């Protein structure tokens, strides 16, 4: 109960400081209400979720924090570059954000299996991003060889099927 109170208090203080800075500092106000900065509060919500998860020691909160912050960063990039058509393949970043959140939660809770699981999720997201980005106009690097990425992923899963876990003593 104490951690929940502390995390709630910290969230309220951070939000209050932000709005106070908007009211008192003209540069912050111009930034906050600028046409290019509307995704910044989304990133801020993700940061607040991470803060709540860390302070209240709920490592699982880092997963939604990573997703929200990642989507906010993607929206910020798209807004500043005007590359909105990248949503055709940029959605594949969301599994990467999930994987990063799982890895961070595993690091915080010191669970090796969770970290490895997060790495797999992020790796699969990278494969999806490369495949869809290559044939939907994102990257010309992979080009017509994108099926090799699917073959590589299949071989990795096949290899994992042949490896037996070591018995615990």
**66 inside domain:** yes
Mean pLDDT of 70-96: 87
Q: How many domains does the chain have?
A: 1
Phi then psi for 18, rounded to 5 degrees? -60, -50
121 assigned to some structural domain? yes
Q: Is there a domain that residue 123 lies in?
A: yes
Residue 147 inside a domain? The answer is: yes
| 168 occurs within a structural domain | no
pTM over 0.75: no
169 in a structural domain: no
**103 has a pLDDT exceeding 60:** yes
Report yes or no: 132 and 89 within 8 Å, Cβ to Cβ. yes
User: What does the pLDDT average to over 154-161?
Assistant: 74
Residue 81 lies in a domain: yes
* Residue span of the structural domain in which 114 resides: 2-162
Residue 51 lies in a domain: yes
């Amino acid at each position: 109960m104490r951690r929940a109170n502390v995390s709630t208090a910290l969230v309220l203080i951070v939000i209050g400081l932000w709005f106070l800075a908007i009211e008192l500092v003209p540069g912050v106000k111009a930034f906050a209400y600028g046409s290019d900065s509307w995704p910044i509060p989304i990133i801020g919500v993700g940061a607040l979720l991470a803060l709540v998860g860390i302070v209240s020691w709920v490592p699982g909160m880092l997963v939604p924090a990573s997703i929200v912050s990642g989507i906010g960063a993607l929206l910020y990039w798209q807004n500043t570059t005007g590359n909105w058509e990248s949503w055709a393949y940029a959605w594949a970043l969301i599994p990467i954000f999930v994987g990063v959140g799982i890895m961070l939660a595993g690091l915080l809770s010191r669970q090796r299996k969770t970290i490895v699981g997060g790495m797999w999720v992020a790796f699969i997201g990278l494969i999806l991003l490369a495949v869809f980005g290559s044939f939907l106009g994102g990257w010309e690097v992979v080009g017509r060889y994108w099926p090799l990425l699917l073959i590589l992923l299949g071989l990795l899963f096949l290899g994992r099927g042949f490896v037996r876990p070591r018995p615990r003593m």
